[in-house]
Chains A and B, each alone.
Chain A
Amino acid sequence: MRPWIALNIKSVNYEFLEETFGSKSQLLLQSNPVHKKIPVLIHVDKPIPESLIIVQYIDELWSSSPSILASDPYDHAIERFWAAYTDEKWFPALRGLRVAQEDEERKALKGPVIEGIVLLEEAFGKCSKGKAFFGGDQIGLIDIAFGCCLGWLKVTEKLSRVKLLDEEKTPGLVKWAERFCADGAVKGVMPETEKLVEFSKVLLAKLSGAPTKK
């Protein structure tokens, strides 16, 4: 989803090749022989894997506005830090909670997920400086990184019966989530929650470690 949104922001034309869950195309395996995963961007025959790396590539190549990454090196570093935190710490914790079957397990796994969201709420306050997105007036790297997890966040809220985004604890993020999902570059890209819930049930039924789309 992330490269999709970035390309929409830059108004770049692209061809979308949908992979079938459970079987990987030759082109995918050729383009990402190391991880064999999506997303992969192929630009003039050059394959670029890993969603955050693709988003940075798109931003650097199509450097005309609107910019996705901050121009100030420190702000840029903070964006990378939170994007990496979302991927390496928070999203795996969310996935762990979503697949937990027992209530006791869910109780134990809920804590780190909520703590992470509270940290992201604080980060939102600092990065947005009172504006609409982490990136300010426009969608930035953290918006894309965390925003694309919103679908799975809603699925987890439903399946695990736990409130993650909360008007009391995370009011900033609640409003931000609505704005993000309503943005022109995101609408039409974000999958419907019900569809994701059904897909999640299929995944849980298979009890597989299949990678989820980012």
Chain B
Amino acid sequence: MAELKLFRTWSSPFALRVVWALDLKGIQFDTIFEDLTNKSSSLLQYNPIYKKVPVLVHNGKPLAESLVILEYIDETWKQTPLLPEDPSERATARFWAKFGDDKVLPSVWNVFIKQGKDQEEAIVTAHENLRNLEGLISGKKFFSGETIGLVDLAFGWLANLLGVFEE
């Protein structure tokens, strides 16, 4: 049987994306929980450039960066596809997933960590970004339509972390 290991932490939303993708496809894997204050030599060996989780190791071959990992999973295990077949719909899904990581997440994080006037400005930016998402999901069950797809996994952190940050 193929060897599949996922290095993660309990709280990393990026690692959770990979867990959800593997679970959706019914794929078995081993989990290695990392302590980010004391990273294992395996993690540093498998992800020397970013030294972060998640890292997926498939038959000894490591992969880092959650969106890269999600596409790899989708190409390797074809059941329950995460991306649509049509190239322009795939491009749109990739665009929104990247928008989430490049803009939405940092803007929400800024609201969480900043104070005073900086926080007020951060709130305005976060709201603008979230309005884009509101337009995207309008009338649909999931961002990807009737079933969960790449964009839903990319934005999954909104479902629980926004509530945590708001509090």
Contacts and interface: CB of A to CB of B under 8 A. Distances in A.
Interface residues of A, number: 22
Interface string A5-48: 00000000000000000000000000000100000000100101
Interface residues of B, number: 23
A80 B65 CA distance: 10
Interface string B64-90: 110111011001100000000001101
Q: Tell me whether chain B's interface is mostly helix, strand or loop, or mixed.
A: helix
A77 B68 CA distance: 6
B89 to A, nearest CB: 10
B69 A77 contact: yes
A56 B94 contact: yes
A81 B88 CA distance: 21
B114 interface: no
Interface string A82-93: 001100000000
A119 B49 contact: yes
A83 B34 CA distance: 27
Contact of B88 (A34, A48, A49, A78): A48
Given A74-B58, A74-B61, A76-B72, A46 B88 contact: yes
Interface string A145-167: 00000000000000000000000
A42 to B, nearest CB: 11
B99 interface: yes
B104 to A, nearest CB: 11
Contact of B63 (A49, A50, A74, A119): A74
B87 A49 contact: no
A53 interface: yes
Contacts of B132: 34
Contacts of B65: 80-81, 84
Contacts of B127: none
Contact of B95 (A49, A73, A74): A49
A54 B91 contact: yes
Interface in A154-209: none
Interface of B: 49, 58, 61, 63-65, 67-69, 71-72, 75-76, 87-88, 90-92, 94-95, 98-99, 132
The 3 closest A-B pairs by CB, nearest first: A73-B75, A77-B72, A60-B87
